[in-house]
Amino acid sequence: MLANDAQVLVLCALAEGPLHGYAINAAIEQLVGERLAAGSLYGALARLEAKGLIEAVDGVGRQRPVRLTPQGAALLERELRAMAEVSRTGLRRLGVSPA
Amino acid sequence: MTSCTQILVRLLYPRPYLDRWGEDLYDAARSEGWRSWPNLVASAVAIWLQPAIWPPRHRGQRTARASAMVLAVAGCGWFIANLLTEDADADPGLRQVLRGCAAALLVGCGLVTPLPHPNRTALVAVVRRSTRYFAVPVVLVATVVVTVHGSVLPRIPPVPIRLAVVSLWWIGWLLAVGAGSRVLANLGPDTVIAPSRRRAGAGGVVLAAVAVITGAVLLIFSFSGARFDPFAAICGALTLVFGGAGTAALCELPSLADD
């Protein structure tokens, strides 16, 4: 499992391709309705890069976009499958049919 | 113009982290304004407690930084424990435990310390860097030794001079702890051979155990006297917290890349 939600959100934001910090936060806002605070966002990026789950790509100007590594993509898939399973089980126990 | 947010970012975060993420972090924090400050502080504390995730300049630096952090925590705990129990009527049992901790600290240091390459250039570089970092603490401690044993002072010196000499002695040792950590964290691969992950792990376990035992001893000491000693209790609790953080940093090492 990943350390926290911020890291999962960043990986989700990067699932469609490389993004820089501002665009990652915009994608997260689109996904969950609110942005990560600056310290939390760059803390998560530093941890993910240290774990080899994301990597920098050559960018235009000062900002360097990052993208998922193959390990990052594999881990995100595992995390999302596990979350989907938890969600399915929880909804079933509540007697609610998944949409 | 330099803004408060920019100063805060520069002051709070370690240099290697700023080199990689500083500008982007500042841009994001600036757009949030003062509301970003509490989160910046909390995030900076977490980053300082995880030196292994700072971007490394070379292989082995993550291990070296995590080891240096645990060494600093254990060393500071040992330092404070000795400072607190020096003149007090401490339990002889506690003193015995502290002596054991000091011995274990040396073992831990031996395990996490990188060894210089077996050539003259590397050896000279290590000696030169160590001399630079250790110069001030060695001069302070040596000054106290010469002052006390060289008949410089009267047999029973006035209280202010006694306090000054004792302060110099302990400041010297505190600086020595810091110097040891800085040397350990900053020696490059061209100069030294980093300890293997297994050796560093074993050293880290020993040093983390020293930090935890020292913290526990401080807590016991704070309650064992006739009066509760809040300073000892706070130092003990902090040593336990930082010892735990150091252990967590070492446990995280195997999941990190580029080391």
Show Cβ contacts of residue B21 under 8 Å, excluding neighbours closer than 6 positions: A42, A45, A46
Residue B131 exposed, middle or buried by CB count within 10 Å (0-12, 13-18, 19+)? exposed
Query: Which H or E element spans position B19?
Result: none
Q: pLDDT tens track of chain B, all 259 residues? A: 468 888 889 889 988 899 889 989 999 999 888 888 999 999 998 898 888 888 888 777 787 787 777 778 778 877 777 777 766 566 677 778 878 888 888 898 888 788 888 888 888 888 888 899 899 999 999 998 888 887 777 777 777 888 888 888 889 988 888 888 778 777 777 788 877 778 878 888 888 888 888 888 888 878 877 778 788 788 888 888 888 887 777 777 777 876 5
What is the least distance, in Å, from the CA of A98 to any CA of chain B? 35
Which residue does chain B place closest to A44, by CA atoms?
A: B43
Tell if the CB–CB gap between A52 and B258 is shorter than 8 Å: yes
Give the per-residue pLDDT at A1: 46
Per-residue pLDDT tens for A44-99?
999 999 999 999 987 666 677 999 999 999 999 999 999 999 999 999 999 887 66
Q: Please report, as a single letter, which amino acid is at residue A83.
A: M
Pick from B66, B51, B61, B60: nearest CA to B15: B51
Q: Is A59 an interface residue toward B (CB < 8 Å)?
A: no
More confident residue, B2 or A18: A18
pLDDT at B49: 84
How close is the nearest chain B Cα to the Cα of A99, in Å?
A: 36
> Count of A–B CB contacts within 8 Å?
67
CB contacts, 8 Å: B258 with chain A: 50, 52
Q: Which of B23, B46, B258 sits opposite A62 (nearest CB)?
A: B23
Confidence at residue B42, expressed as pLDDT on a 0 to 100 scale: 93
Count the Cβ atoms, other than its own, within 10 Å of residue B216. Answer: 16
pLDDT at A6: 92
Contact map slice: B 27-46 vs A, CB within 8 A: 27-29, 32, 36, 39-44, 46
A42: nearest CA in chain B?
A: B25
Q: Tell me the whole-structure pTM to 2 decimals.
A: 0.74
Q: What would the pLDDT profile of A25-40 be if each residue is shown by its tens digit?
A: 999 999 999 999 999 9
Residues of A in contact with B253 (CB under 8 A): none
How far, CA to CA in Å, does A53 sit from each of A8, A81, B84, B254? 11, 17, 46, 14
Cβ separation B43–A47 shorter than 8 A: no
What was the pLDDT predicted at A96?
A: 84
pLDDT value at position B250? 74
Contacts of B249 (CB under 8 A, 6+ apart): B49, B50, B51, B52, B66, B69, B70
Rounded to whole angstroms, the Cα distance separating B33 from B170 reads: 42
